[in-house]
Amino acid sequence: MTMTPLKHIVFLPAPSWGHLRPAMKTSLRMVEKFQDLFISVFVYDSEVPKTTKYLNSQSSAYSARIKIVTASGNETTPALSPTNPVEIFVYLEKSFELWITKELQQTTAAQVDGRVISKPSWIIEDHLNGGVSLEVSDRLICIPGLPVHHEWELNTQYLPFVPSLAVYMIQRWKNMIKHVDTIICCTTFEMEPISASALSNALDKLITPFFIGPSVDLATPQSSPDSPVTQFLDRAYTEKGAHSVVYVAFGTAFFPPASSVSHLTAILDEIPKAGFRFIFALSSPSAKLEQSWVDAHIQAGNAIFPEWTNQTAVLDHPAIHYFLSHGGWNSSTEALVRGVPMIFWPFVGDQPANAMQIATTHNCGFELLQVRTGPAKSTAYQIGREVKIVGTHDAVREEMSEILELSKGSRGQHQRTNARLLGRVLSDSLAPGGSGDRDLLKLGKALGLGTNM
């Protein structure tokens, strides 16, 4: 009996691990759901070992239908750093073109478990590869589903690399929009129904959105009891009880710029003053702190500064109080599904909007305002009132002190309850029959895929 060939989809994530890991998770969900699907995930050269390790840890029943691919050119691969984004995307474009051209010209079909793999027929690409917009004004705007805000509040930090990146990417983004007729959103309709309802008609042409749920691992994470981070959390839980540690992480790509590091240390100094301890994950290559300041907090038993953490295991620990984050979607949803409220220090991209939605609309956290720089260092529109951004060390300290005090009382308890309830909505959407699961099935049908059900 002749077996039907596997449909072949190519997934092109943004280069950094913060975008690559959810792409891998989404790919695994898709091949688990659709038995006739094979996915090639195009991975930036330097991230291949990490991605391979992640894939090898998954069930071979599904990972066999995912292939990690790359295409090194003759030139040296640019290092993944916020200081050279244009160079990174130019290299990504060239190397992907090299690979996809070769792939489409293959005359011999590969096989998996006796089934022929068709040539690629679809490409799923991370929107970050397309471009961003820098047009900023003082007008008040209302994006469906978000609170009213100044336009400049969508770019809350001045980052030196953004202008050059935007100049290069904006036309690419506009061109990408012309060719898009389907959008895959890793969120749920229940969490942002107004935004979801508005998306279909947001552009000049009709768009078909699929809200397949967040790319989060729901299984209880395994943590090593010998890990310094685990020992720090266990000790804090024993000595100070539940919700006694603030987890701080800005992801693998972002970190406050050098001009804002003094604000960062001022904020972190307030955590022990409020009776908490903190874990600061220094995962970004640009994470630079004064060593004497770090040593003082370590010696006092206030903090630990690992270069890497098992973030889901940390967030799952009962000692965790709040998560201080840049507000990337992955970090935000990982916190929510574990019922952890957040303190946001957003930079660019989706981060400011995520902070507005989660902290203001859903009341699952706070947003730091006095750390804003660039055009956003003026005023913040907060539920009908203008908040002056002073931006001094005293203003930053006072704001953080007030947030931590509020987090101890009824406001903090209410936010924790909200985070747990919203997290349950996200988790339920991924379960069989949930809204994310149903939209994943609809996506498969649109792609002509059969399910494993």
Asked if residue 330 lies in contact with residue 254, where contact means CB atoms within 8 angstroms, the answer is: no
pLDDT at 132: 26
In tens, the pLDDT along 168-212 reads 787 888 888 888 889 999 999 999 999 999 988 888 888 899 999
Structure-block tokens of residue 361? 């609309």
Q: Which residue, among 313, 321, 316, 369, has the nearest Cα to 341 in the 3D structure?
A: 321
Tokens 């590869």 identify what position?
129
Which residues, other chains included, contact 358 with Cβ-Cβ below 8 Å and sequence gap of 6+? 327, 332, 336, 342, 344, 364, 365
Distance, CA of 423 to CA of 191 (rounded, Å): 9
Q: Where are the beta strands (DSSP E) in 145-255?
A: 149-150, 182-185, 208-211, 245-249
Structure-block tokens of residue 421? 């309830």
Asked if residue 42 lies in contact with residue 69, where contact means CB atoms within 8 angstroms, the answer is: yes
* Helix 410-430 × helix 393-408 angle, to 10°: 80
Tokens 């720089």 identify what position?
373
Which residues, other chains included, contact 185 with Cβ-Cβ below 8 Å and sequence gap of 6+? 196, 199, 209, 210, 211, 212
b/e per residue 397-428 (b: at least 16 CB within 10 A)? bebbbebbeebeeeebeebbebbbebbebbbb
pLDDT at 3: 78
Distance, CA of 411 to CA of 399 (rounded, Å): 15
Asked if residue 51 lies in contact with residue 68, where contact means CB atoms within 8 angstroms, the answer is: yes
pLDDT at 135: 42
Block means of pLDDT (10 residues each) for the chain, 453 residues, are: 84 90 94 94 91 91 90 73 77 80 75 88 83 49 88 81 73 86 94 92 87 93 88 98 98 87 97 98 89 97 95 96 97 98 95 96 97 85 89 96 98 98 98 97 92 66
Which residues, other chains included, contact 189 with Cβ-Cβ below 8 Å and sequence gap of 6+? 196, 211, 429, 435, 439
pLDDT at 22: 93
The domain made up of 6-217+441-446 has a fold known as: Rossmann fold (3.40.50)
pLDDT at 347: 93
Structure-block tokens of residue 7? 């449909």
Distance, CA of 319 to CA of 232 (rounded, Å): 10
DSSP lists the bridge partners of residue 34 as: 451
- Measure the CA angle with vertex 158, ends 153 and 159; round to 5°: 130
Classify residue 104 by burial, with Cβ atoms within 10 Å: 0-12, 13-18, 19+. Answer: exposed
Torsion of CA 435, 67, 14, 423, to 10 degrees: 30
State the CATH architecture for 228-427: 3-Layer(aba) Sandwich (3.40)
Phi and psi (nearest 5°) for 130? -90, -45
Q: What residue ranges of the chain are covered by domains with CATH 3.40.50.2000?
A: 6-217+441-446, 228-427
Distance, CA of 327 to CA of 310 (rounded, Å): 17
CA distances to 142, 192, 202, 375, 376 from 138, in Å: 13, 25, 22, 9, 9
